[in-house]
Amino acid sequence: MPTDGVDICRFASMRLRVRIGTIITGIIYLSALAIAGFLLWQTLQMSSTLITFSTGAIIPTTAPEPTATSAPVLILPTPIPPTPLPTAAPPEPETIGYHPKSGRYIAVWLPPNFVGDARDSFFANVDIIDDISPFWYTTDASGRLYGQRDDELVEIAHKNNVRIIPSIHNVNNPGAVVPVLSNPQLRARHIQNIVDEVLARNYDGIDIDYESLAPSLRDDFTTFIVDLAAALHAHNKLLTVAVHAKDRDDGGLGAFQDWAAIGPHVDQLRIMTYDYHWRGSGPGPVAPAYWIEAVANYAREVVDPAKVLLGVHFYGYDWPPNGNATARPWRIIEEIINEYQPTVSFIERNARGRVGESTFTYRTSAGTRTVWFMTDTGLADKIATVQRLDLAGIAIWQLGYERPEYWQTVRANLVQDSTLIQRALNALLPDH
């Protein structure tokens, strides 16, 4: 075949392919225009529908005033605030309730009014005082309570980790409690009055100081203490009892107090180891060491030693030539010494044994007067008895009567108690 004919065929074939491509492209273009036109028409139709809906919408008008009905108004409860989330750092552990502070209890009786020397002494030694018992309450023959209160002192005590255990006493009228103790109904009413007062005033407990009762009331007194202890303990409250010092069960003024019977029920047995010589007796040591030793040994035999507190007197007695003695705080004794310049003698021992008190005489227009009072050495000796017999601590009568050196002795001998330190170390040491 000639060459020119081939070229012509190739050229015709190329033109045919170009024409087919152009036709296809045109079809695609026309299809796209048709689709676009359809979409445009559909959009216009939808727009006209929306406009129709909009023109037919209801326009809100002012609401009419509501007509009152007889239906009650509902008051919604106040929302409860959410519980705050704990902070990242845990709070410091509280020390409230840690007693005794020094390893042994230090309890003090206070005068009815929290003022003057008593207040000053409290704040000066609050770091080691565990319990305070203000002398607030008495009772009558019906079992009702009389006296005074001091809510400020309660708040102060608790802020300083001091337990407040007010005293109910019969010192001014011993016979007032006799019908209360001997009559079961009056006794029950008296107990309820005490519990109600303790709970209402936020006390930590109550201290019973019923003194100078007949031995015939022994069983009634025991029943009263046992029942009162149960009633207070049901509310996690304490019962402390002040008892006459004695070195045998039927001894002295305390024959009506059965230590062995009440010991398991009380939280503290506060033994009034003072007034061996008292207002109505002749002059002599107020709390000789030989007597305290005998009382403490007997107490340890019949009562759990961990409940026994030995009484410590912060006062002295000033006897006239004839008649009853006058109780003197150290401040007055010091004034007498400074004014009369007597010779003060420390009596370490007498014919009966260790004494540990000081005495002096001075002359007045009415005659020669005699004073006996506790010394620092005598106080240290009493504390040594507490340590040697491993008793619970001391109970002081009364705060504000003392010479400042007494508290130095307490701190040096009771707070820094080598017995307790050794006991704590023994618990950490391996068996050997």
Tell me the CA distances in angstroms from 72 to 67, 76, 316, 428, one per residue in order: 14, 13, 76, 72
* In the chain, % of residues over pLDDT 90: 72
Give CA torsion, residues 251, 256, 259, 263, to 10 deg. Answer: -170
Distance separating alpha carbons of residues 122 and 398, to the nearest angstrom: 11
- The identity of residue 380, as a single letter, is A
Name residues of the chain where pLDDT drops below 50.
1-12, 14, 16, 18, 43-44, 46-96, 432
Distance separating alpha carbons of residues 333 and 342, to the nearest angstrom: 11
Distance separating alpha carbons of residues 210 and 224, to the nearest angstrom: 11
Q: What secondary structure does DSSP assign to 320-370, as a single string?
A: -SSS--EEEEHHHHHHHHHHH-PPPEEEEEETTEEEEEEEEEEEETTEEEE
User: Residue 432's pLDDT is what?
Assistant: 44
What HEC string does 162-217 produce?
A: CEECCEEECCCCHHHHHHHHHCHHHHHHHHHHHHHHHHHHCCCEEEEECCCCCHHH
User: Residue 50's pLDDT is what?
Assistant: 36
- For the domain spanning 105-314+375-417, the CATH number is 3.20.20.80
Distance separating alpha carbons of residues 225 and 206, to the nearest angstrom: 11
**How many residues comprise the chain?**
432
Nearest to 357 by CA among 388, 328, 381, 322: 381
Residue with tokens 């030539």: 321
Token output for 82: 């959410």
User: Residue 37's pLDDT is what?
Assistant: 62
User: Residue 30's pLDDT is what?
Assistant: 64
207 near 133, Cβ under 8 Å? yes
User: Residue 41's pLDDT is what?
Assistant: 55
Residue with tokens 């203490």: 225
What global pTM score does this model have? Answer: 0.76
User: Residue 82's pLDDT is what?
Assistant: 34
User: Residue 258's pLDDT is what?
Assistant: 98
